[in-house]
Amino acid sequence: MEPKLSLVILTIFLLCSAAIHNGSRPVLALAPCDFPAIFNFGDSNSDTGGLSAVYGQAAWPAGETYFGHPAGRYADGRLVVDFIAQSFGLPFLSAYLDSVGTNFTHGANFATAGSTIRPQNTTIRQYGYSPISLDVQFNELYQFRRRSQVTRAKGGVFQKLMPKEEVFSRALYTFDIGQNDLTAGYFLNMSTSEVRAYIPDVLGQFKNIIKYVYGEGGRYFWIHNTGPVGCLPYVMDRIPVLASQIDSAGCASPFNEVAQDFNRGLKKVVDQLRKELPLAAITYVDVYSVKYSLISQPKKHGFTEPLRACCGHGGKYNYNKNHGCGSKITKGGHEVLIGKSCKDPQHYVNWDGVHFTEAANKQIFDHIVSGLLSDNKTPLRMACHRV
């Protein structure tokens, strides 16, 4: 027997045994889910063109690896949500805010770069946080569900570009948001204890949104926790910490500890929602673990640069907040690109000091799709089952 096949059989046996031991029906014994659409909520980790549609396209060399041109993503290629869509045979999600070339038959993406769960009392030009917070993203879904059916009823091309009404109750609702809520406090010069103090309010607002989506017919939820923000150049470069607070991977421990506090709270919220929403299948996915693993054990995953940004301009981490990826300067009357990408982005975990490369995103997807990083061990293809 092939080694890989043996590993698959052993994994299935262990998952089924665990389910039987816990008195529940093993999820792998159920039929795979057939999601006709995905509705995504989030920030730049899953934005497929929302912010670009409003504030201008993410600049070249964004998109260079897969698309060959900027494609609304703050990466060199595909994001985790792109790999999720592809795994179901669905097209890439159109950004809800994009009016050109969009097709919403198989879902919509409400995420925008810089989004937070809790609305921010700042402008995007002051601190870089999007006005499209999670409550606004829900309002977009609320409007879209109703207006899409009015438009679809017109027939013709409209019928081909809008989802059927039943799609909303059969779709997968994905969430990847929270990172910016944590960094927002730090960038406003708050202390770690002050950031920790407002986490319960952030999670309370997140819980409300899940309930609102449930009220709109959403039943299947795939929720990512937040990643190790203390390993990202845009945080480490801007908020100094003591040498003793740098861990063995080169990350800033205080920020990662806050992220883990957030994640523990998020897990509790998910547990509460499972009790309060009897028809919902909710999967909590630990992306923090795989992201930290890519950075702390890069060689194991095929990377040589775990912390330095592939695309940027100077500095310890090849990150400069004033001259980011794709930035240009005028020299001799001509624009010169100084925020250049590296020659081998497939060897880098970080793309631009804030976001992950396509290679890293693919690794993240590969680690979460099987369900081994889901709290209930539910694989992506079984996320419609309540276990």
* pLDDT, position 322: 92
Residues 235, 52: Cα–Cα separation, whole Å:
23
Domains of the chain and CATH, by start: 38-304+358-382 (3.40.50)
Q: pLDDT for 158-204, tens place per residue?
A: 999 999 999 999 999 999 999 999 999 999 999 999 999 999 999 99
* pLDDT, position 118: 98
Given a contact cutoff of 8 angstroms between Cβ atoms, the answer to whether 338 and 247 are in contact is: no
- Say whether pLDDT at 24 is over 70: no
- Cis amide prior to 233 (ω within 30 degrees): no
- Say whether pLDDT at 69 is over 60: yes
Q: Is the dihedral of CA 39, 44, 47, 50 positive or negative?
A: positive
* pLDDT, position 20: 43
Residues 255, 249: Cα–Cα separation, whole Å:
14
Residues 233, 213: Cα–Cα separation, whole Å:
34
Q: What is the mean pLDDT of residues 42-47?
A: 98
More confident residue, 166 or 121: 166
Of 355, 367, 374, 385, which is the active-site residue? 355
* pLDDT, position 28: 61
Given a contact cutoff of 8 angstroms between Cβ atoms, the answer to whether 190 and 53 are in contact is: no
Closest C-alpha among 250, 258, 322 to residue 288: 258
The alpha-helical segments, DSSP class H, found in the chain are 3-21, 50-55, 80-87, 124-127, 134-152, 157-161, 167-170, 179-187, 192-215, 233-236, 253-276, 287-296, 358-368
Residues 312, 348: Cα–Cα separation, whole Å:
13
Residues 181, 212: Cα–Cα separation, whole Å:
20
* pLDDT, position 27: 63
Residue 181 annotated to the active site:
no
Of 106, 176, 352, 367, which is the active-site residue? 352
Residues 89, 121: Cα–Cα separation, whole Å:
40
List Cα–Cα distances, 373 to 174, 256, 361, 370, in angstroms. 16, 18, 15, 8
Q: Is the dihedral of CA 45, 322, 259, 197 positive or negative?
A: negative
Per mean pLDDT, which range of 26-40, 54-68, 103-117, 334-348 is the poorest? 26-40
* pLDDT, position 59: 94
Q: 38-42 and 172-176: which strand pairing?
A: parallel
Given a contact cutoff of 8 angstroms between Cβ atoms, the answer to whether 365 and 83 are in contact is: yes
Given a contact cutoff of 8 angstroms between Cβ atoms, the answer to whether 360 and 347 are in contact is: no
Residue 82 annotated to the active site:
no
* pLDDT, position 374: 98
Q: Which DSSP state fits 189?
A: T
Length of the chain: 387
* pLDDT, position 22: 44
* pLDDT, position 4: 44
Q: pLDDT for 78-97, tens place per residue?
A: 999 999 999 999 999 999 99
pLDDT class for 25, splitting at 50, 70, 90? Answer: low
Residues 89, 91: Cα–Cα separation, whole Å:
7
Q: What is the pTM of this model?
A: 0.92
Provide, rounded to the nearest whole percent, the portion of the chain with pLDDT above 90: 89
Residues 164, 146: Cα–Cα separation, whole Å:
11
Residue 224 annotated to the active site:
no
